[in-house]
Amino acid sequence: MSVSAFEGTAIQFPPSDLIAFDHWLSAIPVTSTTGWRWRKRGWIKTVNICGRIYISRQEISRFEERAAAGEFAKTHTTPKRKGADQ
């Protein structure tokens, strides 16, 4: 819990449910471009507060559950080499 002192009175606040989106991306580690793509595709929902992007802990767990279930999985295709057909 964080504590704030205002005129000698300590007020305790519960920890926030929101995490800065860029902090979460660096913790997993994923680039900001990948995070932008996830947001654009609707894979993850964020909150914009005064121009700063945040993500809730519930949304992180929902995203991780969907990823573990294989919802975002694709088959990997290796690009063909140039001149391999010859």
Separation of CA 76 from chain center: 23
| Cα 86 to Cα 73: distance, rounded to the nearest angstrom | 33
Greatest CA separation found in the chain?
Answer: 81
pLDDT value for 74? 87
29 phi, psi to nearest 5 deg: -80, 125
Whole-prediction pTM value? 0.69
63 phi, psi to nearest 5 deg: -65, -45
What is the tens place of the pLDDT at every residue in 26-65? 999 999 999 999 999 999 999 999 999 999 999 999 999 9
Write the CA distances from 52 to 46, 47, 48, 82, integer angstroms: 10, 8, 6, 44
